[in-house]
């Protein structure tokens, strides 16, 4: 049972425009969420996180939005750069949990 879903396997965006990556979850007990970026032949690299007490967290060009009622989070990248081209995973965890549940990833391509 996939508790975290990323329904868009791929996304292409022009350089300088906004990239929006979406993630849905089913478990209402999830209270901590992460976005990871993964380049080929490398492990996932932490990008940004958000806890359920917030609805927005910003770090430079990256902003994560959390809509708890809709069980939805999104990652906004503004402006998008070619170096952002990678696979992005969202992951979720519970306050008592010891594991992260990952989505299947969205492959972002930023076109120069």
Applying CB under 8 A, which residues contact another protein? Answer: 4, 6, 32, 34, 36, 41-46, 49, 89, 91, 93, 97-105
Q: Are 107 and 21 in contact (CB under 8 A)?
A: no
CB crowding 17-31: b at 16 or more within 10 Å, else e:
eebbbbbbbeeeebb
**Is-contact 107 10, C-beta < 8 A?**
yes
Which residue, 13 or 101, is less far from another protein as judged by CB? 101
Rounded to a whole number of angstroms, the minimum distance from the CB of residue 25 to another protein is: 12
Q: Minimal distance in Å, beta carbon 29 to another protein?
A: 14
Of residues 79 and 94, the one with the C-beta less far from another protein: 94
Closest contact distance (angstroms) between CB of 112 and another protein is 26
Handedness of CA 70, 57, 38, 99 (dihedral sign): negative
22/49 with CB nearer another protein? 49
Q: Which is nearer to another protein, 13 or 92 (CB)?
A: 92
Alpha-carbon span 109 to 87, nearest angstrom: 9
Residue closest to 105 by CA, chosen among 85, 83, 89, 86? 89
For residue 53, the minimal CB distance to another protein (Å) is 14
């Amino acid at each position: 049972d996939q508790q975290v879903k990323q329904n868009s396997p791929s996304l292409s965006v022009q350089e300088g425009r906004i990239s929006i990556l979406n993630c849905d979850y089913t478990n209402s007990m999830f209270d901590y969420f992460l976005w990871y970026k993964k380049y080929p032949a490398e492990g996932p690299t932490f990008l940004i996180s958000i806890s359920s007490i917030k609805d927005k967290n910003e770090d430079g060009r990256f902003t994560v939005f959390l809509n708890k009622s809709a069980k939805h989070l999104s990652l906004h990248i503004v402006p998008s750069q070619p170096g952002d081209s990678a696979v992005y995973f969202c992951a979720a965890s519970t306050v008592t949990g010891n594991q992260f549940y990952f989505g299947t990833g969205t492959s972002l391509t930023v076109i120069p």
